Structure 1
Amino acid sequence: MSDKANTTPRRALIVVDVQNDYDGGNLAIQHPPFRDSVVNVARAMDAAAAAAVKVVVIKQMAPETSLIFAKGSHGGELHPEIARRSRDHYVEKTLPSAFTGTDLEAWLRANAIDTLTVVGYMTHNCDLSTIIHAVHMGFAVEFLSDATGSVPYANSAGYASAEDIHRVVTVILQSRFAAVLKTAEWVECLKTGALPERDTIYASNQRALARNAA
């Protein structure tokens, strides 16, 4: 962790799509296991509330005929651990980024938020889309890697396990788009005022080259 900066971040915790379909439903999270990651999402929400960090809950919406997140279905509803906790703002979306077609940016600007802490699902889809979108709009981003998760994919481009997808995306995010850290580390940052470590594309690449040459 870096030393405390002169300016304290004005954070909002962005809780992305923590819905029942991810909890053993039609799109069950495999890595990290949902049962573990949802505990960390809840922990982050509790820590945010205790530290007066605003909490925004995002929900993915899909037509009633959809196989996942169908309107009116159990799978499409917020997970009970998230639904029962307080929030400062609620956003429904239909595309991966929480910013597209929603009032999220306007709400963040109105509340003078400059730093987003992203948790929820999935690492490689809605989290990734939201984080990149946020960076392009000038927000600083933090990503809690144990409060999220991935599923495996197989298609015409090949196969990737949930663990591979999650690991690679977090490495990519840390290289440029977000400060990647564990929930416990983030909670400590809230207590101490320390800022999480950020990295660069160049430095990340140079370390990889040195590692490969060793």
Structure 2
Amino acid sequence: MTKYGLLIIDVQNDYFSGGKMVLHEPEKALHHIQQLEHDFKSKNLPIIYIQHINIQPNPAFFEKGTDGVELHSELSLQDDSVIIEKHFPNSFFQTKLQATLDQLEVDTLVITGMMTHMCVDSTTRAAAELGYNPVLIHNATATRNLAFNENNVQANDVQNAFISSLSNFSTVMSTDDWIKA
């Protein structure tokens, strides 16, 4: 029997207005994540929150002890919420995520969060490689504009390119489609 788990990656203050690494429309992604939190709670399914702590010297963002590293206050966190700390883009690398999912008997991981082109990408690919069935909720993720060799790539193009690529490793759907399924 399939057991679902909701993974909420790096929905932290530094990605929102006033933060050190503001993303493109993170509020829209947060709204969809909140809908998924409600759906999973109503079905008594596990929700796992991932919190990135940047351990590099003088980090640009997600610095331990700052408000920016904190999980966003509009998430439905409870005293008993499962929060897993990570230090790398891949949420499985050197964390307790896989052991937690195994303990919860989760085999299908519904993936949301930030940034689409970094931690969401790395975690989705790793989930597939580790034998989970990843389901990526495309409108519950957010990214930012990128630049390379004087070329600017708009956030919407980054989002579309990464979601398109991740469709090779996961089932991609919208929040509404997930809730209706």
Is residue 54–residue 88 contact of structure 1 (8 Å, CA) maintained in 2? no
Report how many residues are paired: 179
Alignment partner, residue 89 of structure 1 = 82
Structure richer in helix, relative to its length: 1
Paired letter, 2:12: Q
How many Å apart are 1:157 and its aligned residue? 7.5
Is residue 144–residue 182 contact of structure 1 (8 Å, CA) maintained in 2? yes
Question: Where does structure 2 lack aligned partners over 5 or more consecutive residues?
Answer: none
Q: Which aligned pairs between 1:129-148 and structure 2 lie closer than 5 A?
A: 129-148=122-141
How many Å apart are 1:89 and its aligned residue? 1.8
SS in 2 for 1:177: coil
How many Å apart are 1:88 and its aligned residue? 4.4
TM-score, normalised to structure 2's length?
Answer: 0.93
Alignment partner, residue 127 of structure 1 = 120
Give me the whole-angstrom Cα distance separating, in 1, the residues matched to 2:51 and 2:76. 11
Paired letter, 1:141: P
Task: Find the partner of 1:27 among 18, 21, 25.
Answer: 21
SS in 1 for 2:74: helix
How many Å apart are 1:159 and its aligned residue? 2.6
SS in 2 for 1:148: strand
TM-score, normalised to structure 1's length?
Answer: 0.79
Give me the whole-angstrom Cα distance separating, in 2, the residues matched to 1:129 and 1:13. 16
Give me the whole-angstrom Cα distance separating, in 2, the residues matched to 1:84 and 1:141. 23
How many Å apart are 1:152 and its aligned residue? 0.7
The runs of 4+ residues in structure 1 deviating greater than 3 Å are 83-88
Alignment partner, residue 42 of structure 1 = 34
Percent of paired sites with the same residue: 26
Q: Given the superposition, is the C-alpha separation of residues 95 and 65 from structure 1 closer, same or farther in structure 2, using an over 3 Å criterion? A: same
1:131-167 superposed Cα distances (whole Å, 9 cap, x missing partner): 1001001000001111111101113383311111100
Question: Where does structure 1 lack aligned partners over 5 or more consecutive residues?
Answer: 1-6, 190-214
SS in 2 for 1:69: coil
How many Å apart are 1:46 and its aligned residue? 1.1
Alignment partner, residue 162 of structure 1 = 155
Give me the whole-angstrom Cα distance separating, in 1, the residues matched to 2:89 and 2:174. 23
Alignment partner, residue 176 of structure 2 = 184
Q: Given the superposition, is the C-alpha separation of residues 102 and 144 from structure 1 closer, same or farther in structure 2, using an over 3 Å criterion? A: same
1:185-209 superposed Cα distances (whole Å, 9 cap, x missing partner): 11112xxxxxxxxxxxxxxxxxxxx
Q: Given the superposition, is the C-alpha separation of residues 131 and 113 from structure 1 closer, same or farther in structure 2, using an over 3 Å criterion? A: same
Paired letter, 1:41: I
How many Å apart are 1:86 and its aligned residue? 6.6
Paired letter, 1:182: S
Asked which structure has the greater CA Rg, the reply is 1
Give me the whole-angstrom Cα distance separating, in 1, the residues matched to 2:100 and 2:180. 27
1:19-38 superposed Cα distances (whole Å, 9 cap, x missing partner): 001112221111xx112111
Give me the whole-angstrom Cα distance separating, in 2, the residues matched to 1:88 and 1:78. 12
Alignment of 1:52 with 2:44, yes or no, is yes
Give me the whole-angstrom Cα distance separating, in 1, the residues matched to 2:117 and 2:158. 7
